[in-house]
Structure formats: structure tokens, C-alpha cells
Chain A
């Protein structure tokens, strides 16, 4: 899965939530700068789970492991590939 595709998905998800212009969201844009509130995070979490079957739990953000949109996209790509591999293994067994 291409990181750029996931990044566009996240960009669109944020544009749904905030009054900002598309060019204001780049790979290195910090989540803090986007001023997402707790319900915004809930919205993003649900959308990620629906689209990529990946759970993104709050501690990823609170621990500082993910601080930018680009890092979040990379995390989803990495986790989605694991989900895909597990599904393939389950189908093969």
C-alpha cells in the first residue's frame, strides 16, 4: 500500500474536520498544529479502522510515537500490511 495514498486519505479526513486549506496539510504537518480535539481523533480512528482495518489507539499520540500526519500514514501502511498477512495466513490454513 502506498504511503502517498494513505496520506491523501488522512488529508481528506482532516479536511472534513477542520476549516483549513488542502495545501496546509503536508507530510510533516504536526498533529498538534491541526488542533484536533478528542472527538476529531475518534472520527479519524473510526475512518482508519473502516478503511484499512487498523486500530490506532490514543496512546500512540499521547506517548509521542506519532506526532505528524506522515508518521501516522507510515504507521497505517505498516499495520495494514500485517493485517493483510494475517488474513492471508488464516485463509491458507
Chain B
């Protein structure tokens, strides 16, 4: 078991890397307006460390012959500056992990990991193409902000997520379901709706999983191919969706990333 606590510096690092400066991660009043008792940590921030620990554990267990697949569910946001416990265990032949608060038994993040080769999506199209200079610059930025994380795949996963955040995909999904209201783009939609990341799944192929940032890996191109998003109108004010990206590094299918989102229209 490991004990983690995420503070202002961690939050600032993730905000700088991802571009997510939502005030609920910085300002208690704004966090309260969104229904939280405390300033909350970005969902992806603890997952950086989860992926590092699960990757180490999987390698220790000899799970390096096939793709490593992690599926993380974000049950509740982690409050800033609060102690949390991370644990990994095995049940029913599955590797499981969780983050719990040390002051409350509530499970905040839970997930599973396994060896599973994903199938590339049919009809996936290039959504973002990151050429060498930009990729190298972004990876260097990641390394400077998170020096404790050396795994290339975790940095690329973070990079893909940040590109996803800056895209209009959530808005397009809301619009297609008739739930965009008067919003004309993603930024105006975010003022009318609360967007919650509910899950994050990542699969990484064996050759890519072992590459380290400190080894200065050669990155010529990162091609992020997006499939058709899946959207379900759960109620008149709630939309759930799932977006999957196949990631080709230097032309080779190296990762598959799936982001689960819930959009709640504010009254």
C-alpha cells in the first residue's frame, strides 16, 4: 500500500501540461459551487501514479509478453491536500487497484488490469497528428513537470488526453444528441454543463511499455486516430459518452485510449 497526497504544486503541474485551469481545481468557492466540499484534484493526476505503479507490478508479475490493459473508474474526485491510500490486489484471477481516502472508507478510484490485445477501431480517422518537434517539446515538458514518471507511454497517454480536452468532441457529442442548448462551442458548453470524467482506459503494447523518457526515444510522429464516439442520453439533463483513440507512434499501433465522460446540464 502506498500513501499519496496531491497538493497545489501537483495540480498546477497537471494544469500546465493539460491546459485544464478549471477553477474547481484552484478555488474553494468555485469547487463548492460545483457541489464539492473541497478543492478537487484533476481526475487524470492520480492516474499518472496509478499507471506507474500498475505498470511496475505487471512487469514484476511477468505481464510483459502481451498488451497491458488498465481500466480506471473515477468514482469520486480526490480532495486536494488530503491523505489517500493506493492498493493493488488480486481477486478472481484479476488484478485490481483502488485509491481510498485515509479519513473516509469511500473508494474514490478503482480499476482492473489485465493482458489484453485491443482491436484497432474500424473507420478510425486521424484526429490529431503530432509531428516530431511538437512531440519532443511536449514530452520534455512532461518530464520537467513530472520528473518521477519516466514511462513514455504514461506521458503519451497524458498528451493524448490533453489534446482531447482541447478538441470540440464533447460539444459535438452534446450537439448531436440535442443537448448543447444555446452553446456554440465547447467553451460555451462548459459554462452550461458540468463535464465529469468517469473512466479512463489505456492499453499499451509490449514494445512501447518498456520505453523510457530518460532513454530519449526516437519519436517521429504520433498519429491519434479517433473512432465514432459513443453517446447515450441518460436523461434530459445527462449525457454519457465514450471516446476511443488508437495511437500510432512512428506508424505502429502502440496504444488504445478510451475516455468516459458524463455531461450534466446545469439548471
Task: Among A15, A21, A55, find the residue whose CB has the most chain B CB atoms closer than 10 A.
Answer: A15
Known: A15-B92, A16-B112. A49 touches B71 (CB 8 A): no
Main secondary structure of the interface of B (DSSP, over half): strand
> Which of A1-9, A35-43, A68-76, A79-87 is found at the contact surface with chain B?
A35-43
Q: Is B101 an interface residue, CB under 8 A from the partner?
A: no
Binds A, one of B45-53, B156-164, B228-236: B228-236
Cβ of A66 within 8 Å of any chain B Cβ, yes or no, is: no
Least Cβ–Cβ distance between A60 and chain B, in angstroms? 12
Shortest distance from the beta carbon of A63 to any chain B beta carbon, whole Å: 14
| Extra inter-chain contacts (19) besides given A46-B230, A50-B230, CB under 8 Å | A15-B92, A15-B94, A16-B94, A16-B112, A17-B73, A19-B96, A37-B75, A39-B73, A42-B198, A42-B240, A42-B262, A43-B198, A43-B199, A43-B260, A45-B232, A45-B234, A46-B242, A50-B242, A58-B234
A40 CB to closest chain B CB (Å) equals 8
Closest Cβ–Cβ distance, residue A75 to chain B (whole Å): 16
* Cα–Cα distance between A16 and B111 once the two chains are bound (Å): 7
Interface membership of A57, Cβ < 8 A:
yes
Q: Which residues of A contact B9 (CB under 8 A)?
A: none
A49 lies within 8 A of B230 (CB): yes
Q: Do A21 and B92 touch (CB < 8 A)?
A: yes
A46 touches B91 (CB 8 A): no
- With A42-B198, A42-B240, A42-B262: A57-B92 Cβ-Cβ less than 8 Å: no
Q: B91 to A16, Cβ gap below 8 A?
A: no
What does the 1/0 interface line of A14-25 toward B look like (CB < 8 Å)? 011101111000
Interface size on A, residues (CB 8 A): 18
Contact partners of B240 in chain A: CB under 8 A: 42, 45-46
Closest partner residue, chain B, to A12 (CB atom): B94
| Other-chain contact of A16, B71, B198, B235, B260 (Cβ < 8 Å) | B71
Q: How far is the CA of A16 from the CA of B262 in the complex (A)?
A: 20
Report B47 CB to chain A, min CB distance, Å.
16
Instruction: Kindly list chain B residues whose C-beta atoms are within 8 Å of the C-beta of A15.
Output: 92, 94
Task: Give A50 to B71 CA distance when docked, in angstroms.
Answer: 16
For the complex formed, measure the closest distance between the CB of A80 and the CB atoms of chain B, giving whole angstroms. Answer: 16
Tell me, rounded to whole Å, the shortest Cβ–Cβ distance linking B211 to chain A: 28
Q: Closest 3 interchain pairs by CB?
A: A46-B242, A42-B240, A22-B92
Residues of B within 8 A of A46 (CB): 230, 232, 240, 242, 260
Distance between Cα atoms of A15 and B110 in the complex (Å): 12
